[in-house]
Structures are given as structure tokens and as C-alpha cells.
Structure 1
Amino acid sequence: MEAVKGILTLFGEASGLRVNYAKSSATILHGDPDAAATIAHVGCKTADLPITYLGIPLTLHRPTAAQLQPLIDSVAARLPTWKAWLMNKAGRLALVRAVLEAIPVHQLLAFAHPPKKTLKQLEKIQRGFLWAGHATANGGHCHVNWRHVCRPLEYGNLGIRDLERASLALRLRWLWYTRTDDNHAWQGLDLQFTPEERALFFTSTTMVLDDRLTTVFWVDRWLQGQSIHEIAPALYQCIPKRRRKARTAAEALTGNAWARDIQGVLGIHEIGQYLMLWQAVQRITLTNEPDQMLWRWTANSTYTAQSCYLLLACPFVRQTWHAILDWTRIPVHPPHNEPSLTDWWQRTKGRTPHALRKGLQSIAMLVPWMIWKQHNECVFDNARPSIEALVDRIKTEAKCWAQARAQGLRVVLPTSWDVH
């Protein structure tokens, strides 16, 4: 403790920010019985968890809704009282977007999975102020479903952030920095992420293999934009779990050490996938440049919270395009804000590899046609819209087109689809 006290003294002399021990507190985490006496010798008091630091409640477990109640109170305190009646809906919308939805950002960055009760209470305050001018609003005040209100402006909605989606998008920045920046003080700590966060991050990133030092061989999407789990799922199950996460591409490709990771009895499917993977690995060309992680949803391939949120908030059609283009591995962006589909096609075909252009042309005809059929079924047959069902129907129809000699689709469809 004397060393810590000396460091704080040097910090105060260098910055002018001197520590007032009488107003400070220390918290013991798994300490020995003599720790309290040591803290008392320093001159500060002892505080038990949970405590609040920089506005964040610190606890050994997931924070409860009661511990986050000060956040709700701070948002509610920002509501104008009598002035709200003098503001029209456009003014109240501006205040919601600039103030009420900005206050929780600090907490959303820190918590892996905020309590749904807290998010609902925050949304209730935003909804009430927007429609009624105070903290609560009943059904008669609400003019539009809140999920539609939270969609982006470019889709004709009000652009208020959905807090649950915003929390997920903000949390992905820690996964991004963990893989792309070694200069942070917290680098190397065992940060905890939910399966949903890891799945979204995996879907949104690819690796460019160069010096192989940062790419995880069995997990990352480095082989033609796919992971080995996607290319050879049966073979992947033969790899011990600890080895999957620890084996870098540099270690695996040195003397084909990856082959020695395979354990258990191999069947016909595993052997076929092993031979396919062996051939794909032998065609890899390497350089001395560092490995690069690419974010799929921005032009410069760098993560932004806005691009991640737009992905989560995109409507039915955009999600369908994303799913089909990802399935066919055509490296283009889906239609977005173009005046017409023809304009998108004219802009995109020049950026598409020549071998994939016919496939993209077929996809550009097939996807809108299937979306139109789904629209008609919903309007005239009262069918329920389902992205998963529509994507499956598009895949089945694409297979039929390929079997009917649509040469472009035969090139872009996954090799696991027997269309040849």
C-alpha cells in the first residue's frame, strides 16, 4: 500500500490532482483478513460492493435493475416540465435523439447484457415524452408502433435508437479492439461476451491472411471469406475445443501442424472434408504484412457502431439481400438508397469480379421476384412474413435455376449444393 500511495503522490505532483484520502474509499476483493487494517493505515475508508465508479455500478455479478435505477432517474430528470407543452413533436423528437438517448450510452458500453426492465423503463420515458410531452403515455397517445419509430431515417422512420440493439452494437467495439489494437491497457484481460455478441461479430468480420500471427486457424473466417467450421463442419467437430481457440494460423501452417489437431475416428465425410481443406490450404499465398481483420458493413472495412446498428435495425428486404449475397459469397453491397434496382446493378457490376457477374445478374432478378411473391402472399393470403422462410425459398429456387442451365448461378452457389 505504501507503494500505491507513493504512486498516487507522484501522480498528484505531476498533474496537480492530489488525492483526498478522507473522501476516498477502497474495496477488498478476495483479500486477506489484514487488508482492512492496511486500508485504515492509508487513511481511507472501506466500502463493500456494489459501489459506483464513473457512473457505473461495480459488482461481482450482473447488475440488477435496482442498481441501475439512478440511470433511469437521471434520464427522467432531463425532461422539461411546463416547457414540454410549448414544444411541438419535432422539437420533442430532437430532444429525445440529442439528450435522452445519449445519456445511457456510457452504461450500454460497459454492460454485456443490461436488464430488460431497465431498457423498457428508458424506452417508456422516451416514448412518453415524444408522444405526450411527459414521462408516460398510454395507447391513445402513441401514433406509431415504437419498433417502426426506432428504424433509421433513410427508411422513412424517426431514427430513434433501439436501446437493446444499440447496446449490442456498442459492445462489439470491445471485440473489435481486442482483435485489432494491442495498445490498450486492458489488452489481454479475459473479457466476457455473450454468445449473441460473438455470433454477430463472427458474421460481420473476415480475415486477410498475411503473416498469420493473429489469425485463429480453426475459428476465424480467413479461407475465401469463410471459417473452417463453415467449410468442413464434420472435420471441425474432431478438433478439441481448447485447440480450436488457441491454434494460430502461423502455428497451424508450419509443417501442416493443423493435421495433428484432428482426433477421434474419421468417417467418409470427415476424410472428404480433410482432403478438400488440404488442397485449399496448399493454395494459400502469404506475405510479411500483418494479418488484417475486415468489417463487412463499411466501405473502409473498419468497425463503426453506426454500421453495426444499421445492420441490426435494417428491415425485411435488406436482411434478405444480406443473407443471399453472403450465401453466394458475391463481394458486393446490397441495394441501399439507389433510385432503382437498375441503378444499383449498373453501379455494382463494374466492381464485381468478371467470373461472378452472370451469377450476380441472376441473383438481381431472382431476389426481387421472390420478395414480390412474398409480398403478395402477405397481402392477399394473410401469410406471415419470415426472413428465414423466404431465404430458404430463394435458395431452393436458385438451385432449380442452376439445374436449368443458369450458368452464372452454377458458379456462385456453394459447392455443397449438387447442381452440376
Structure 2
Amino acid sequence: MELIYSAIVLDTLGSEFDDYTYLPADGTRGGILLAWKSRAVTITDPMFTTNAITAKVATATGTPWWLTVVYPPPPPPPPPQEDADKVAFLQELHDIQAACPDPWMVCGDFNLILRDDDKNTGTVNRRMMGKFRRLTNDPALKEIYLSGRRYTWSNEQTPPTLVLLDRILCTADWEDAHSGCHLRCLAAVVSDHAPLLLDCSPTPTSHRRFHFEEYWLRLDGFHDVATAASLTSWRSRSTGNIKAKLAISRELISRFDQAQESRNLSPPEAWLRKQLKISYLGLASMERTIARQRSRIANLKDGDASISFFHQQCSFRRQKNHIYSLAVDDRVLTDHTDMAKAAFAHFEALLGTATAREHSLDLSQLIEPTDLADHDASFSAEEIWEAVKRLPARKAPGPDGFTAEFLRACWTTIRQDFLDVFQQLYDLRGRGFYKLNQALLTLLPKKADAQGLRDYRPICLIHLVAKIFAKVLSIRLSAKLDNLVSRNQNAFISGRSLHDNYVLVKQSLKLLHQLGAPRVMLMLDLTRAFDSLSWPFPFEVLRQYGFGSRFLEWRAILLSSASTRILLNGEPGPPIWHRQGLRQGDSMSPQLFVLAVDTLGQLLRRAHSLGILQPLYPRCHIPAISLYADDVMVFFHATADDTTVIREILALFGRASGLKVNFTKSSATILHGDQAATEMIAHLGCPVATLPITYLGIPLSTRHPSATQVQPMAALLWEDRWIGGQSVCELMPNLYGCIPKRRRTTRTVADGLNGNSWARDIQDNLGLHKIGQYLQLWQIMQRTELSTTPDRLIWRWTASGTYSAQSCYTATFHGSTGCHSWKLIWKCWAPPRVKFFHWLANQDRCWTAERLARHGLQHYPRCLLCDQQPEMMRHLLLECP
């Protein structure tokens, strides 16, 4: 619209929006309307530019700030001109920002994207995306987090192109003044753009529960206060109202400074001024430490960043994790009370309601019992202290507010209290343990557009005493877990790795693919695995393995006395008493789950041993199942009988344990199958997937395998490192040169030992050096005996022969030349921002004229300081006068 009347504004927005200004539209495109309520907001100094309106906003209580509303230029047909218009639009925004010294916020349709994931297709203009990103980085603009949506524009086609074009950017000082703001999308009813709603009203303050702070350990008198058990009142006196104390200190120091200009301060005044300055430095350091801890950035220490950085991180976390609405059935709840009731009902049905078991399993036919009575021994102080040391120091606390860092610092004070609690538990007197076995359950979004409760990841924060008790039991169990659980299950077991499961499935898939017969690879999804496990089942498994009655009673106390409150936006709800499932955050829960789900593997092995299921491979044994926690992969014949047996075994296991398979989320891959096999698998009710698929987060396929995955288990005589970690080609290079290439890659050690056939591979005249190496190899071959024990993979970079990420990282630098110049940058006393600049200068990545020229950007070629030499990093740091 080229002309807007008051009647249009009142009719569109309502009678309260009694003042406005606007930028006329260009035909049917563009146009900006800025309207406000004059009784609440005062807008002055409007500035009109080609694509924006800028005005100063003031309220009765807040600091004035600048607001810019933008609408981009219409794109002309030729792409070069389109880019030129957008560049001019970005320059216009840059000029507006330079003219706004106060806090600034800019919003509207930018018709530009900042990141690749701002568009659901791969077609992006990276050149303009880079220019837009540089605009936001230069004035340190920050994008306000958009809650509940990923895109704001659609082309209304099938399939649609979705883009995030509308956004709100602000400066750091504007965000500090409006830290509780919340941005969300409304429904795109009449436009292809979704309207944005920015709510700057203060967030309701929740009840602040007690929370141990790490910096307390550095304050004088802390240990005396901890001994007297008066931390709450001491916290209010010593560390409360830091901002008010800083403001009072600044005011008093300012008044002393003013008085000093007209007269000399008296000795008491001079002493007080000095003490105030010392106190101010301490309070400022304490404020920065508090902000760092609340920002949850573990890799930064005190002094590594300014306090504003930590405050911005806290604000971002608050905006991202705060739940403003929940989609329940066909309704969207926005009231806190309604959302709390919905969350309670959801988790009460999930955790607080026990599902009736239909039958149990005869585990004596599946599990061989062992003597594990030593797990019933009494608890020692050393055992409890070991559990305390193994807990993460800075994890979020439970309802009690204490962390493991507090226990480590005050162990001598509270040691006897813990010994008394564990003695009560050893005597099985757990009637009042429910007071120490409470937990808080907080919800974190799994994705940006989280709407329902299933889109949130529940994080359980357990009381510290219950956490220590579970950790002690977990340490006892972990010592035997490697011997109890089959090699097909590698999750949560020390010394085993995810890679073992992947290589097992990869090798099995390869062999079955080479066989050429129809086989099925079924990847299962267990419904709510941890939350749906029926309590009687893990106790039956533990009892069958040979655990004593006292150990089972301890585990029963932990389960039966557990209660959880849903922490919704900082407000805890009513308690939920657990009746099924394993509580996340309990150190023993993963181990119990591994023992329980391993029974499924025992069932399949029993079915194979009884001939109910056919062997997968005629010439060697291929495991029928691979387990990594709740990621289950099953192999079986593509026949009607085997398919029926697999379905019945899974149903039997689900009815006994509560771990039921969700076939709609599972997938079946058929190897060398036909239409009949596909129709037969359809009876399982799961979709059919084709290779490649993703297993444990890694692509799985039969094509282009790596060398380590396709290499046979038998070692090659001439090329593999089977002689004390070395190969024949390394120890005897002259003799190795006499071996034909086809023999090098086919002759195995087993073949070579058979009748000394390795000697017949040598096809050349042997000189003096070759004869010596020949005799050396002869002696080695005579001493070599092949073992009948199963082969195992040995990782050469660790003494134990097991893989570790640390050793793999070290191996990548094996043989490289060490350079310690990095210590001059990162291990010096300078502040972090100076270290970072030093690193940029060392890498020649500062935006000097020389680098701007390399990137084809406009620049002034000579040094701006001396105007004599070209502006280069070396000149600026070493040569410029």
C-alpha cells in the first residue's frame, strides 16, 4: 500500500495501537508499518531509508534503544543485478547500525540466509550468505533464538521449498537488557511468510532451590561453615546480592574520588577507599565465576572470557530450554499449570504405572549360574570414597543441590555420615531411604522445533546419596560384567567398543552377501527401552546369574523407594513413584539393562542349538544377533518358518521383560531376496530398507568396504605383521623381493606351514644376504605353531591390545616431527583474546590489505598507520614505526 490511513491501522491491529509510521510499498511488494501503543511505548526520531525504518524506542522503566524494521529490495530477473541490490541492502544496514550508538535491534524479512540449514534444499547462494554472515559478525549482532520452528517462508508448492528468511538480530547490550525475551512463529494464515511474535515481558521467576557453587571452596571459612551445617544462611550473608554490593562499592568509591578532588581524605577514609577497591575486585571475580559456572561451558576457566560472554550464553540456554508451549493430543497448551499437569500425566503413565507381565522365562535353560556371593560383602570407607572419585565433579545436582565436588572437598567432614547411611543399607533397613532417593527430571529439546513431550529428552538429576549408593553397586557389578555378558553385547562394558559390534555386523553381512542365498537383516527398535523394563525380569536374571539375596535387596531398595518430580521451567511438580523401568542417571541402570537384553541373544542361541532356526552359513558360525544397548540387529533365513520363529521369540521376550519391539520403526533388509521374500517379511509389519543403511551411526553396505573389513581372519605370510608385530617384508626385504606379487597376496601362514610350501614361493637365485634371511625365516617357521583358540583383534597401540580413542589419536601423529611453538601462544600468561590474536597473526588470518586483496575484496593497499608500506601482518607487527 502506498498510503496508510489511521482507520486501516485501527481496523487491522486494534484501537490500542494509536500511533504509527510507515514506509510506502512499491506496487505489491515491500512496505513497512511500524505501529505502537503510545501509553506504553514512546517512539521518536524516525529515520527512513530505502528498505528500512529506524526509530528510537523508550519505555517508562527501561533504557532507550534503537529499532530497525527491514524489507529487502525486490529481486530483478538478472542474477548479477540481484546480488548488487542485496549488497546495497547490506551496506544500508551497516550504515544504520553505525548511526545507532545505543542498544539496537533489527527485524524483518531479510530475504537472505545465514547457514546451510536455513533452507531445506541444497541450492544456496554461498557468496551472499557469506556477506550476510560478515554483516552480523562485524557489529557483533546476535540472532534471537526462534523457538518451535525452523523455517518462516514457504513457496506453497509440492514438495515445498522452506527457508528461514524472517529473523530478529540484536546487539549484546540489547540482549542484556531483554534477557528474558522469547521469539516464536505464528500461523501463516494469509501470507507465505509466518509472522514472528517477540515477547519481551519478564519471565516469571521460579523458586530458587539450594545449589552448591564451586567457588565457595575458595572462600574463607567455608569448611567451618560446612562442619556447622549452615551453608544456606552463610550463602545469603557472604555471596548474596553481589550486584547490589558491586553497585554500592562503585558509588562509595566515586564519592571518595569526588571528595579527593577538593580536599585530602582522612586516614579512615583513605583506608576505607582502599578496602572498597580490594573488595570490588573480589566481588567482580566472584560474579564472573558465577556466570561461568551457570553458562555450563566446561572448557573455559576463570579469565578466559568476559562476563558478558557468559551472560549471553546463559541467556541463549534459557531461551532454548524454556518451554513456552506443549502440544498434547489436538491441543496446544501455553499455561504453566496446564503444561505441568500434562507432563505429570505423561510420565506418570510411563514410570508410575506397572504393566502386568503375561509370563516369565525359564532362565535356567539359558544362563549358567556362577558364584557371586562376594557382592554381598559389607561396605568399606575406601569403597565409598572410590565411588565418590569416579563421579563427574561438575554435573548438575539433584534435589539436595550438592555435587561430587562438594563431597571431595568435605569428605573428612561428612565421611562418618555416609558410613552410617551405608551401614543402615547393609542391614537392609531402608524404610526412610525414600527421602534420599528423590530426583528431578528436566526436559531438554531434541530438535529446534520441539512441540510434544516426545520431542524432549528427559534428564534425571538424582539425590547425591542415592547416586553414590548406586555407584558403589555399579563398581561391584562392573568387575564381573565382562564375564557375564556375551561378546555380542558391547555397550557399557569396560574394554569393549562400539566398533566391535559394527565390524561383527559388517563381516556377517559380507559373508552372507557372498553366499548368494536369501537372508534377512532385521534392525529392531525397542519401545521406550529403559522406561518399559518390567522390574521382576532383571531380578530373575540377577538371581539366575548367582547374585546373593542381599545384593538383590539393595537393588530393590533403590527401585522401590525412587520418586521423581518433573522440573518444568524451574518449577518442580508433584512426585511420581516409580513402578517400572530403570531410572536414567543411576550408574547401575545401564548394566542391568545390558544383562536383561542379553537374554534375547541367549534365546536366539538356544533356538539355533535346538534346530528351531537354521544355521546362517554352512561353512562357519555367524552370530544371529548383535546387541549394543537397545540397538539390536538380527540375521535369519528368508523363509516363512524362520520369520515366524523370530517373531514369536521377540513377542515372547517382550511379554516376559516388557521390552517390546516397535515393528513400525524397525526395518528389514533382504539379501538376494525375491518378491516372495518381500511379501513374507511384510507379515512382520516393518518397512523394508535397502542398502546402504545406518547402523550405530555408521553407514553399512556391501559396497566399497575398507581393507580391514574385507581381510580374511587368516594372516598373509609375506605381508602381514605376524612376527612379533613385524612382517617378512620389513624384516627380510631382500628375500621378500624374490616372491612373485601374486604369492605375496594369497599365501597365508597356515598354507606356508603345510609341508614348508612357503619355500616354493621363492623364485630367484639367492645371494649371500638372501641366504642369511632365508635361514632366519626357516627358523621362525619351524618354531611357529598355530593355535586352535579363536582369533581376536589386537590393537597394537595399547599395552592391553584393546582399542581406545586416545591411542588412536596418538597413532595419527606417529612418525611426525614435533613442534612446540604452540606453547609460546597458548601456554603464556597473556589473556585469551591476546592469545587468539597471536594465533591469527601467526596463521596470517587477520584481515589486512594483503588478505583482502587475495579474496578480491575492496581495500586501501597501504598501511593506515604510516601510509608508506603495503599493509601486511609482518609490517604491522615488526616494521611499522
TM-score by length of 1: 0.32
- Give the number of the structure whose residues are more often strand, by fraction: 2
- Give the number of the structure whose residues are more often helix, by fraction: 1
TM-score by length of 2: 0.17
Structure having greater relative contact order (Cα 8 Å, sep ≥ 6)? 1
